[in-house]
Amino acid sequence: ELSELDWNGPELEYIVKWRQLTEGREWKELVVETSPYTVNNTPTFTPYQIQVQASNQFGVGPKPRTIIGYSGEDYPLVNPDRVAVLNESSSSVRVTWSPVPADSLRGHLRGYNVGVSSVHRARRPLAGYRARPRDP
């Protein structure tokens, strides 16, 4: 957002443009007076091309660069599959699983939560762990 000292003319406005990144989509445009502007009713975690251009009563500013942004994230649609446990010693186990398919993530995968509890004691969690995905 520009400060009043940088307006260089009355009636400062912002021309906000966005469209889904898929081919053939039309640009949508709205003129607003302040920042920020929220685009609503978008599909989950969808890439968009976005442009913001300043304008005042004397005309529009330079052509804006196009950036890529994503609509909001949501919980993954499925849990990891093929969960298995291997005893490594009397005090440790290895837990493995198949990754969640990319098309069901609905956002960035930040990690997996692994809960551990004892079957010999009351069924309360002993510990919780967060496993981060490996880099490809």
Query: Which position has the token pair 């762990």?
Result: 129
φ/ψ of residue 102, rounded to 5: -55, -35
Q: What pLDDT is attached to residue 123? A: 55
The pLDDT of residue 110: 87
pLDDT the model gives residue 112:
87
Query: Between 75 and 131, whose confidence is greater?
Result: 75
Residue 57: what pLDDT? 86
Per the prediction, the chain carries an average pLDDT of: 85
Residue 113 buriedness (CB in 10 A; 0-12 / 13-18 / 19+): exposed
Please indicate whether residue 70 or residue 125 has the higher confidence score (pLDDT): 70
- Of all residues in the chain, the percent with pLDDT exceeding 90 is 54
Closest CA to 54 of 39, 68, 34: 34
**CA-to-CA separations, 34 to 5, 97, 122, in angstroms, rounded:** 15, 47, 56
CATH number of the structural domain 4-70: 2.60.40.10
User: Where do you find CATH 2.60.40.10 in the chain?
Assistant: 4-70
Q: SS3 of 42, please? A: coil
The residue ranking higher by pLDDT, 35 or 31, is 31
